[in-house]
Amino acid sequence: MSGLEVRDEVAEALEGNGAVVALESTLISHGLPRPDNLALALEAEAIVREEGAVPATVGVIGGIPKVGLGEGDLELLANEDDILKLSTRDLPFAVAKGSHGATTVAATASLAARAGVRLFATGGLGGVHRGARDSWDVSADLAELARTPVAVVSAGVKSILDVPATLELLETLGVPVAGFRTLRFPGFYLTDSGCPLDWSVEGEGEAAHAVRALGDLETGGMVIANPLPESQQLDPALHKKALRSGLEGLRRDGVRGKDVTPFLLARFREETGGESLEVNKRIILNNARLAARIAAALAALEGE
Ligand code: PSU
Ligand code: MN
């Protein structure tokens, strides 16, 4: 894509076969409240560096898709009102109009892969929404991963979704899914979604081998599902209560389309007295750390 701006430090790392981890920006602008959002974005970048990789947060600033945002850009996406939530299909119009926008998993994966980044950390993927049989609400994250060669480290898919249906669709789309040291698919706020997996990877090295093999196959992306330790998950009873109230709120307020996910995340924060926010932050940092370790292992593998 002409006009794709790759931050110098990121471009240098990519040219030298160094470790790079992409980070998304929708969770900054639409997933987390101020001021936690900016603090979390900076902390995720710091953790990636701590593990020996270069962070590349992705977003669109003044119509320019950027792989690697500067601190000023991060501040803007965290603090301005009216930042757009951009999925892949929104990118052409955001470019044409010179908009500021935060990128979802789908748009982040697309831009990062175009720049040559192979690892990406988020909190939880989008997926098949409950009631999708009627609403047809299925996140574009899934279709993007089917065609884009990037490995996403996530705590499964958001527990507000229909998790078994999401796993079925990932299978249909041919997206490889492995648990990190587990054969249970994580449930975002919860350690275990209740769904089994066919594959696990048993360490950063094995994950890096799988990412390299994925690249050789030239198919699409991959999900490395990284659960929170049980001691850090949201209390399951509280989760159940928040979910019920969130889903009721959706129906009552007639929330649709791209507003559904931010609405439900905000409802969880209210219903759990802020506990879900703390869990969400732990998930994101946990995944940033693992993605950086895998990126470093991949760089070492390719330097051999
Ligand atoms: N993970 C989080 N918080 C978020 C998201 C993921 O911890 O806000 C965002 C991601 O950007 C993901 C999006 O792509 O939610 C899914 O939105 P939708 O269901 O509208 O596709
Ligand atoms: Mn949707």
- Is the CB of 105 inside a 6 Å radius of any atom of ligand 1? yes
Q: Which amino acid is at 245?
A: S
48-100 confidence digits (pLDDT tens): 999 999 999 999 999 999 999 999 999 999 999 999 999 999 999 999 999 99
Query: 187, 225 in Cβ contact below 8 A?
Result: no
- Is the CB of 154 inside a 6 Å radius of any atom of ligand 1? no
Side-chain-side CA neighbours of 212 within 13 Å: the count stands at 18
d(CA 66, CA 62): 10
d(CA 23, CA 53): 12
Query: 132, 164 in Cβ contact below 8 A?
Result: no
Q: How far is the CA of 301 from the centre of ligand 1 (A)?
A: 31
d(CA 89, CA 109): 13
d(CA 84, CA 90): 9
**SS3 track for the chain:** CCCCEECHHHHHHHHCCCCEEEECCHHHHHHCCCCHHHHHHHHHHHHHHHCCCEEEEEEEECCEEEECCCHHHHHHHHHCCCCEEECHHHHHHHHHHCCCEEECHHHHHHHHHHHCCCEEECCCECCEECCHHHHCCECHHHHHHHHCCCEEEECEECCCECHHHHHHHHHHCCCCEEEECCCEEEECCEEEEEEECCCEECCHHHHHHHHHHHHHHCCCCEEEECCCCHHHCCCHHHHHHHHHHHHHHHHHHCCCHHHHHHHHHHHHHHHCCCHHHHHHHHHHHHHHHHHHHHHHHHHHHHHC
d(CA 304, CA 299): 9
Q: Ligand 1, atom 16: nearest CA belongs to which residue?
A: 126
Q: How far is the CA of 105 from the centre of ligand 1 (A)?
A: 7
- Is the CB of 123 inside a 6 Å radius of any atom of ligand 1? yes
From 24, 108, 287, give the residue whose CB has the most ligand 1 atoms within 8 Å, as the site to mutate.
24
d(CA 30, CA 124): 14
**SS3 track for 203-228:** CHHHHHHHHHHHHHHCCCCEEEECCC
Query: Tell me, what's the pLDDT at 80?
Result: 98
Range 5-303 classified under CATH 3.30.460.10: no
Both ends of the chain: CA-CA distance in Å? 31
Instruction: Locate 263 and state its tokens.
Output: 């609405």
- Is the CB of 280 inside a 6 Å radius of any atom of ligand 1? yes
- Is the CB of 129 inside a 6 Å radius of any atom of ligand 1? no
The catalytic residue positions are 24, 158
pLDDT averages per 10-residue partition of the chain, 304 residues: 88 95 97 97 98 98 98 98 97 98 98 98 96 94 98 93 97 98 97 97 98 94 98 96 95 93 94 96 98 98 88
